[in-house]
C-alpha cells in the first residue's frame, strides 16, 4: 500500500458562467457568501472503507441531480460482470497503468487491497469543465494526495455503524471472495482511524440508515454545488475505535448461503397468507444487527440533519460477480451476456417452471448476467438442487429466491409479489418468464381424459394469465413496467401430433400465442411501456416428453434421438436476446427449430 505519489499540477478549470458571475455588475456589490464561492466548481471527495456504501451514496447523488458528475477512476482490478469500461472504471493493464503514472496522468493513485487505483486529471477536469461537482470515490491514501494537490473540494469520510455491519454489507454485496472480503475488512480499521488525521476530512457521515445518509450527504453536496466552504467543526475532536474483533467472514458468507437454502413455500389456499410468507426463513441480503457494536463513538453527532423516517434500503444490484464467477459459458449458450442486457442488472426476474429444462437454463442465464432470480416451481427438491447449482457456479445466493408455488392456484400466485418484496424491499418483478407448460398423451379430442385437458388448460393458459395478472398489478402499484416473455412453443403455430391426439395441447399453446398478442395490445392501449415477447421453440431436449408420457423417461429419449434437438440453453439465449433489445424494439415472437426438424 501507499506508493510515493507524484501529483501533477492543475485541475484548474475556468468557472462556467453562473448566475452570480454573469450579472451585469459582476459582483461589484457586496458579494454574498454564495457569489464569492461560486468562482469555481468544487469536488466532493467520498472516502471510507470498502463496502461502507460510498458507491451507493454517490449513485444516489448523481442519479437525483444533474449538478453532480462521477470521476471515473482507473484500476488494474479485473472488471466485475456488470461493470463497463469507461462507466464504472477505466480497466487498465498494470503495465499501461505504470506507463500512465510515469506520464503524470494521475491526480492521485494508490495500491488499494492489492490493486492499483487512480484518479486521472482528465477525469476530474471533464466533470468540472461541464460545470458540475466532481464526485470522487477514493480510498484514504487517495484522499491525502488529493488534499495535497490543492483541489478545491469537500472531503467526507463515510463510516459504517459497526464492523459487523460492514462485514454484512461486503458479504451481502457478493462481489468478493471470502479472502478478499477479509482483506478489505482487515484494512478497514486503519482506514477508519484516519478520521483522526487533522485537516483531512471536513465531515464524518455514518451510513447507518441509507435514506438518512443520502439526505445528509445531499446537504453537504449542495454546499459543494454552490462552491461553499465546508462548515467548520463537522468532524469530532477525537473518534475512538471500539476494539471489537473482526467478524468471521467465512461464517457470515456461509450463513448467507445457508439461510437461503430453504425454498420459500407460497401459502396454500387454506393458509393465512401473511404468516406463511413471513414465517419462512428467507435470507436477507444484508441482515442488520441491532446489537452491533458501534465502530465510532464521539461526543456529538458529527453531521446535523433533520430526523428522517427511515425507509428500507433500495437494494443495489447485488450480483457484481467475483473472480470465481464463471462467465456465461456453454451451460447457457455460447453467446455470453448479450449487448444491451446491462439495463437489467440488479432487476428481478421471475421464471416459472424453473425446476428443469428451459426454466432452469433461463434462471442460470439471467442470474449469470446479474439479475436477481425468483425461481418458481412445484418441486421443492429440484429448486434446492437449482440453488446448489447456482451456488456452485458462483451466483451469490442473495440474488436467488426459490419459491415453491403451483401456478394453477390463484391464492399461491397472488402472494408471489409479496414474497419478492419481502426478500428485496422496494423491488418487484421486472421480468416475468411464463415458461411453465405441459402436455399429456391421453388428451384425444375423441375420447381424451378430461382431467388432462383441465391440467393443460390450467397450467398453460390460466397459469400464464394468473401469473401475468399478479405481476402486472404489482408493476402498476410500483409504477414500473418491465418485460413479459411467454413460452408459446411451435405448437402455438401448428398442430404437430393432430392424428395422435395432440390437438388439445396445441390449442392451449395457440391460446398462449393469442394471449401474448392480446397482452401486447392491451399494453399499447393503456400506453404502458410494458414489453411483451413470445418464444416458440420446436423440439427441445427436456422432460416435456416424459411428463407427456406420465413419467416415462424413455419417451424423452425416443422423441429427441432422431437428430440433434434444441437444448434448453438455446431457448434461454433467445429469451436473453429479447430482453436485450433496445426499448424501442419489441420482439413479438421468435420461432426456432432444430435444424433437422421438418414440421
Ligand atoms: N445504509 C446502508 N445499509 C445497508 N446496506 C447498505 C447501506 N449502504 C450501502 N449498503 C449496501 O452495502 C453494500 C456495499 O455498498 P457499496 O458497494 O456502495 O460500498 P462502497 O463503499 O462503494 O464499496 P467499495 O469501496 O468496495 O467500492 C451494497 O450491497 C449496498 O447495497
Ligand atoms: N486512491 C484511490 N482509490 C480508489 C479509486 N477508485 C476507487 N478507489 C477505492 O478502491 C476501493 C476498492 O474499490 P472496488 O471498486 O474494487 O470495490 C474502494 O474503497 C474505493 O474507494 C481511485 O481512483 N483512487
* Coil vs helix vs strand at 417: helix
* Coil vs helix vs strand at 163: helix
CA distance 116 to 95: 11
CA distance 373 to 344: 11
Strands 106-112 and 115-120: antiparallel
Neighbours of 558 (CB within 10 A): 12
CA distance 526 to 535: 24
pLDDT for the residue 405: 95
pLDDT for the residue 419: 92
Distance 137 CA to ligand 2 centre (A): 6
| Angle 532-421-343 from CA coordinates, rounded to 5° | 45
Question: Which residues make Cβ contacts (< 8 Å) with residue 151, sequence separation at least 6?
Answer: 11, 43, 107, 124
Strand partners of residue 349: 373, 431
CA distance 4 to 430: 48
250-293 pLDDT tens trace: 776 666 555 555 788 887 654 333 222 222 222 222 222 223 33
Contact 413, 432 (CB under 8 A): no
pLDDT for the residue 253: 67
Burial of 45 (0-12, 13-18, 19+ CB in 10 A): buried
Question: Which residues make Cβ contacts (< 8 Å) with residue 175, sequence separation at least 6?
Answer: 80, 320, 321, 322
Write the residue with the smallest CA distance to atom 6 of ligand 2.
138
Which of 59, 106, 111, 137 to mutate for ligand 2's pocket (most ligand atoms within 8 Å of CB)?
137
Contact 489, 511 (CB under 8 A): no
Q: H or E stretch including 372? A: strand 372-377
* C-alpha atoms less than 13 angstroms from C-alpha of 289 in its C-beta half-sphere: 17
Specify whether 423 is catalytic.
Answer: no
Neighbours of 339 (CB within 10 A): 10
Least confident of 17-21, 316-320, 325-329, 435-439: 316-320
**Between these two residues, 596 and 293, which has the higher pLDDT value?**
596
Distance 286 CA to ligand 1 centre (A): 10
Write the residue with the smallest CA distance to atom 29 of ligand 1.
173
Distance 462 CA to ligand 2 centre (A): 51
Q: Output the pTM of the full model.
A: 0.52
Distance 319 CA to ligand 1 centre (A): 13
Q: If you write DSSP's letter for every residue of 382-406 in order, what string do you get?
A: HHHHHHHHHHHTT--GGGEEEEE--
CA distance 327 to 329: 6
Mean pLDDT of 420-444: 93
CA distance 485 to 351: 10
Q: H or E stretch including 69? A: strand 68-70
Supply the Cα-derived Rg of the chain in whole angstroms. Answer: 28
Distance 85 CA to ligand 1 centre (A): 21
pLDDT for the residue 529: 96
Which of 73, 78, 200 to mutate for ligand 2's pocket (most ligand atoms within 8 Å of CB)?
73
Q: Using H for helix, E for strand and C for coil, what is the string for 87-107?
A: CCEEECCHHHHHHHHHCCCEE
Question: In this model, does residue 426 exceed pLDDT 80?
Answer: no
pLDDT for the residue 240: 75
CA distance 205 to 217: 8
Mean pLDDT of 505-526: 98
CA distances from 536 to 116, 314, 562, 566, 571 (A): 48, 36, 20, 12, 9
Specify whether 132 is catalytic.
Answer: no
pLDDT for the residue 78: 92
In short, whether 77's Cβ falls inside 6 Å of ligand 2 is yes
Question: In this model, does residue 473 exceed pLDDT 90?
Answer: yes
pLDDT for the residue 265: 82
Tell me the average pLDDT of the chain: 82
The proportion of the chain whose per-residue pLDDT surpasses 90, expressed as a percent, equals 68
Contact 136, 119 (CB under 8 A): yes
pLDDT for the residue 175: 83
Contact 158, 52 (CB under 8 A): yes
Burial of 304 (0-12, 13-18, 19+ CB in 10 A): exposed
pLDDT for the residue 276: 24
- What does the block give as the cell for 571? 431457448
Question: In this model, does residue 34 exceed pLDDT 80?
Answer: no
Which of 80, 169, 176, 321 to mutate for ligand 1's pocket (most ligand atoms within 8 Å of CB)?
169
151-208 pLDDT tens trace: 999 999 999 998 889 998 998 887 888 889 999 999 998 999 999 999 999 999 999 9
Mean pLDDT of 14-34: 35
Strands 43-47 and 68-70: unpaired
Question: In this model, does residue 480 exceed pLDDT 60?
Answer: yes
In short, whether 142's Cβ falls inside 6 Å of ligand 2 is yes
Write the residue with the smallest CA distance to atom 5 of ligand 2.
138
Burial of 351 (0-12, 13-18, 19+ CB in 10 A): buried
Mean pLDDT of 464-482: 96
The DSSP call for residue 444 is: -
- What does the block give as the cell for 342? 446491462
Neighbours of 201 (CB within 10 A): 26
Distance 266 CA to ligand 1 centre (A): 31
> By C-alpha distance, which of 129, 124, 161, 130 is closest to 44?
124
Neighbours of 460 (CB within 10 A): 29
pLDDT for the residue 176: 86
Distance 587 CA to ligand 1 centre (A): 36
Sheet of 203-206: strand order equals: 68-70, 133-138, 43-47, 153-159, 203-206
Mean pLDDT of 445-473: 98
Mean pLDDT of 91-113: 96
In short, whether 139's Cβ falls inside 6 Å of ligand 2 is yes
Highest mean pLDDT pick, 329-338, 393-402, 502-511: 502-511
> By C-alpha distance, which of 246, 212, 217 is closest to 234?
217
Question: In this model, does residue 23 exceed pLDDT 80?
Answer: no
Roughly how many angstroms between the first and final C-alpha of the chain, as a whole number? 65
In short, whether 50's Cβ falls inside 6 Å of ligand 2 is yes
Write the residue with the smallest CA distance to atom 1 of ligand 2.
142
CA distance 343 to 545: 36
In short, whether 117's Cβ falls inside 6 Å of ligand 2 is yes
pLDDT for the residue 309: 28
Question: In this model, does residue 16 exceed pLDDT 50?
Answer: no
Least confident of 393-397, 481-485, 491-495: 393-397
Question: In this model, does residue 537 exceed pLDDT 50?
Answer: yes
45-61 pLDDT tens trace: 999 999 999 999 999 99
**Between these two residues, 447 and 163, which has the higher pLDDT value?**
447
61-78 pLDDT tens trace: 999 999 999 999 999 999
How sure is the predictor about 421, in pLDDT bands with cuts at 50, 70 and 90? confident
Least confident of 56-60, 310-314, 340-344: 310-314
Contact 47, 157 (CB under 8 A): yes
Mean pLDDT of 341-363: 96
The one catalytic residue among 144, 173, 378, 440: 173
Distance 362 CA to ligand 1 centre (A): 28
pLDDT for the residue 420: 92
Mean pLDDT of 106-120: 97
Residues with CB under 6 A from ligand 1: 48, 50-56, 169, 172-173, 207, 210, 213, 286, 313, 316, 318
The one catalytic residue among 80, 169, 440, 531: 80
pLDDT for the residue 164: 87
> By C-alpha distance, which of 408, 336, 337, 346 is closest to 373?
346
Mean pLDDT of 314-341: 42
Question: In this model, does residue 542 exceed pLDDT 80?
Answer: yes
How sure is the predictor about 32, in pLDDT bands with cuts at 50, 70 and 90? very low
- What does the block give as the cell for 398? 442473495
pLDDT for the residue 259: 53
Specify whether 238 is catalytic.
Answer: no
In short, whether 118's Cβ falls inside 6 Å of ligand 2 is yes
The one catalytic residue among 132, 184, 223, 520: 184
Strand partners of residue 591: 536
Write the residue with the smallest CA distance to atom 14 of ligand 1.
51
Neighbours of 87 (CB within 10 A): 11
pLDDT for the residue 362: 98
Amino acid at each position: 500500500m501507499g506508493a510515493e505519489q507524484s501529483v501533477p499540477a492543475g485541475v484548474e478549470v475556468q468557472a462556467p458562467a453562473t448566475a452570480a458571475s454573469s450579472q451585469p455588475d459582476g459582483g461589484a456589490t457586496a458579494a454574498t457568501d454564495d457569489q464569492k464561492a461560486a468562482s469555481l466548481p468544487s469536488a466532493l471527495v467520498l472516502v471510507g472503507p470498502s463496502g461502507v456504501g460510498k458507491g451507493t451514496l454517490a449513485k444516489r447523488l448523481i442519479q437525483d441531480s444533474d449538478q453532480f458528475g462521477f470521476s471515473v477512476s482507473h484500476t488494474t482490478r479485473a472488471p466485475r460482470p456488470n461493470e463497463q469500461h469507461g462507466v464504472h472504471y477505466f480497466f487498465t493493464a498494470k503495465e499501461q497503468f505504470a506507463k500512465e503514472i510515469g506520464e503524470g496522468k494521475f491526480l492521485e493513485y494508490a495500491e488499494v487491497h492489492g490493486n492499483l487505483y487512480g484518479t486521472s486529471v482528465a477525469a476530474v477536469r471533464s466533470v468540472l469543465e461541464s460545470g458540475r461537482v466532481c464526485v470522487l470515490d477514493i480510498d484514504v491514501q487517495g484522499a491525502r494526495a488529493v488534499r495535497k494537490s490543492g483541489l478545491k473540494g469537500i472531503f467526507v469520510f463515510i463510516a459504517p455503524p459497526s464492523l459487523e455491519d460492514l462485514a454484512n454489507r461486503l458479504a451481502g454485496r457478493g462481489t468478493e471472495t471470502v479472502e478478499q472480503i477479509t482483506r478489505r475488512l482487515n484494512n478497514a480499521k486503519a482506514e477508519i482511524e484516519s478520521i483522526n488525521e487533522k485537516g483531512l476530512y471536513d465531515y464524518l457521515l455514518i451510513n447507518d440508515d441509507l435514506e438518512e445518509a443520502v439526505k445528509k450527504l445531499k446537504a453537504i453536496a449542495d454546499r459543494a454545488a454552490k462552491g461553499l466552504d465546508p462548515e467548520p467543526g463537522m468532524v469530532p475532536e477525537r473518534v475512538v475505535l471500539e476494539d471489537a474483533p473482526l467478524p468471521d467472514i467465512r461464517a457470515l458468507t456461509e450463513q448467507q448461503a445457508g439461510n437461503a437454502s430453504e425454498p420459500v413455500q407460497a401459502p396454500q389456499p387454506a393458509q393465512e397468507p401473511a404468516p406463511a410468507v413471513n414465517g419462512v426463513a428467507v435470507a436477507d441480503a444484508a441482515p442488520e444487527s441491532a446489537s452491533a457494536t458501534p465502530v465510532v463513538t464521539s461526543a456529538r453527532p458529527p453531521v446535523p440533519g433533520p430526523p428522517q423516517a427511515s425507509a428500507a434500503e433500495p437494494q443495489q444490484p447485488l450480483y457484481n460477480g467475483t473472480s470465481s464467477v464463471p462467465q456465461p459459458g456453454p451451460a447457457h449458450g455460447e453467446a455470453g451476456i448479450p449487448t444491451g442486457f446491462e439495463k437489467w442488472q440488479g432487476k428481478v426476474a421471475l421464471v416459472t417452471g424453473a425446476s428443469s429444462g428451459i426454466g432452469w437454463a433461463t434462471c442460470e442465464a439471467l442470474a449469470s448476467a446479474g439479475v436477481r432470480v425468483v425461481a418458481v416451481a412445484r418441486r421443492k427438491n429440484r429448486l434446492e438442487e437449482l440453488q446448489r447449482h447456482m451456488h456452485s457456479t458462483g451466483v451469490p445466493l442473495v440474488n436467488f429466491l426459490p419459491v415453491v408455488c403451483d401456478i394453477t392456484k390463484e391464492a399461491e400466485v397472488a402472494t408471489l409479489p409479496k414474497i419478492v418484496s419481502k426478500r428485496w424491499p422496494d423491488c418487484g418483478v421486472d421480468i416475468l418468464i411464463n415458461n411453465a407448460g405441459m402436455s399429456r398423451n391421453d388428451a384425444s379430442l375423441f375420447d381424451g381424459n378430461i382431467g388432462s385437458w383441465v391440467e393443460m388448460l390450467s397450467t398453460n393458459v390460466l397459469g400464464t394469465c394468473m401469473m401475468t395478472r399478479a405481476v402486472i398489478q404489482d408493476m402498476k402499484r410500483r409504477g414500473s413496467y418491465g418485460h413479459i416473455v411467454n413460452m408459446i412453443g411451435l405448437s402455438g403455430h401448428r398442430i404437430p401430433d393432430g392424428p395422435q391426439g395432440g390437438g388439445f395441447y396445441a390449442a392451449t399453446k395457440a391460446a398462449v400465442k393469442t394471449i401474448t398478442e392480446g397482452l401486447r395490445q392491451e399494453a399499447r392501449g393503456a400506453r404502458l411501456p410494458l414489453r411483451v415477447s413470445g418464444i416458440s421453440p420446436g423440439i427441445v431436449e427436456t422432460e416435456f416428453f416424459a411428463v407427456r408420457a406420465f413419467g416415462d423417461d424413455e419417451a424423452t429419449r425416443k422423441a429427441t434421438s432422431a437428430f440433434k434437438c434444441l437444448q434448453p440453453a438455446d431457448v434461454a439465449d433467445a429469451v436473453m436476446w429479447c430482453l436485450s433489445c433496445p426499448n424501442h424494439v419489441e420482439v413479438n415472437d421468435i420461432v426456432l427449430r432444430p435444424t433437422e426438424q421438418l414440421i
